[in-house]
Amino acid sequence: MAKDYYQILGINKGATAEEIKQAYRKLALKYHPDKTKGDAEGEKKFKEINEAYQVLGNESKRRQYDQYGQAFDGSTRGGFSGFRPEDFSRFTQDFGDMAGFEDIFDAFFGGGGRRRRNPEQAHRGSDIEGHLQVTFAEAAKGVKKKMGINCSRICEVCHGSGAADGKLATCDKCGGHGELRVNRRTILGTFAQVQMCDTCRGTGKKPAKACRTCRGDGKVTKSETIEVDIPAGIDSNQTIKLSGQGEVGWRGGRSGDLYIVVTVLSDSRFERRGADLYRTEGLSYPIAVLGGEIKIDALDERLTLKIPAGTGGGEVFRLRGKGLPRLDQTGHGDLFVKVEIVIPRHLTLKQKRLLEDLGEEL
């Protein structure tokens, strides 16, 4: 039967993108190889979780999966379960710009037909995600931060070959061809699908004797500290990509990438909207009426704001270029200051009499 990715992540079909991401992170942490310590079932579960998130975490793939995924049955008995001619018509319309039948076949079987999956892609390491927290001031100026990550690195014993003595032998599963031929029954008939050998991953070779340290994988999981350059003006939930810093590739393959999601702590003095900052300042009644100057806080300085006579409560003043740096652009945002008239609650007898006199005068 087709895999139920929603069930794998423990969510319902109407889950939001954020709910999908939270469910994935929770399960990925629970079944990470560091936690399961090489348990076969744990590793299998971890792969299923990642597979499910690759589909449901992508809006386009999720839409296709919701429409066609549940109808697909990859067993040799079932072909397509409940597949109707009109379903195939809609499918071919969705992929109308494909070159021919092989492309449609690839869409069903993920790279079947006469095509061979690219070994380089199969050997590439997985991308990983990390999280980093910075203060508002650090985000405003930019900063270098250190963070710890757990990821796979090349085995130092076998130097990534997976072989104890560096010697490789012909893969006994594919006979050194690097690919396997599998017959698939579909609504259109039986097809011979050529797929990459899952033992040697298309190389046709395997370690004559597996390295004891990495068990033939050519990589081991390590903890390390990296330095991340946080650019000035970054906002919460923005991502920094570190190319080649993800999981190491399989037996010398290209490493994946590391994506760091940044969280920026709030500052009670400001409300942020992109690169612009907003704050509210209290204004005494005499200054509002007569005009004057007040001191206000900007990012890292105290500024003098001139208040014209007759300023009313709720008026907003704009200080150009006093906001945050614009990420990947030149210049800064602006600082908007809203003034509110401060009404004193406790007055002396003299103050009351003066206000009464003022009231009569006005």
What pLDDT sits at residue 68? 63
> What pLDDT, in 10s, does the model give residues 87-112?
444 444 444 434 344 444 444 444 44
Q: Taking a C-beta distance cutoff of 8 angstroms, is the pair 107, 60 a contact?
A: no
> What pLDDT, in 10s, does the model give residues 307-318?
999 999 999 999
Which residue stretches of 57-201 are H helix?
Answer: 59-68, 85-94, 101-109, 119-123, 136-141
Q: Taking a C-beta distance cutoff of 8 angstroms, is the pair 249, 201 a contact?
A: no
Closest CA to 205 of 158, 169, 162: 169
What pLDDT sits at residue 269? 93
| 76 burial level (CB within 10 Å; 0-12, 13-18, 19+) | exposed
Share of residues in the chain with pLDDT > 70 (%): 81
Instruction: Give the model's confidence band at 120: pLDDT under 50 very low, under 70 low, under 90 confident, else very high.
Output: low
Cite the annotated binding site by residue number.
155, 158, 171, 174, 197, 200, 211, 214
Cα separations in angstroms, 198 against 157, 173, 178: 24, 9, 9
Q: Which domains does the chain have, with CATH numbers?
A: 119-167+208-265 (2.60.260.20), 271-361 (2.60.260.20)
Higher pLDDT, 77 or 10: 10
Structure tokens at 259: 């994506």
**What string of DSSP letters covers 171-240?**
-TTTTTSSEEEEEEEETTEEEEEEEE-TTTTTSSEEESSB-TTTTTSSEEEEEEEEEEEEPTT--TT-EE
Q: List beta partners, residue 272.
A: 277
Q: What's 125's DSSP letter?
A: P
> What pLDDT, in 10s, does the model give residues 258-274?
999 999 999 999 999 99
Q: What's 303's DSSP letter?
A: E
Cite the annotated binding site for Zn(2+) by residue number.
155, 158, 171, 174, 197, 200, 211, 214
CB atoms near residue 16 (< 10 Å): 9
Q: Does this model's pTM top 0.75?
A: no
> What pLDDT, in 10s, does the model give residues 193-204?
888 888 888 888
299: left (phi over 0), alpha (psi -120 to 50) or beta: alpha
- φ and ψ at 187, to 5 degrees? -65, -25
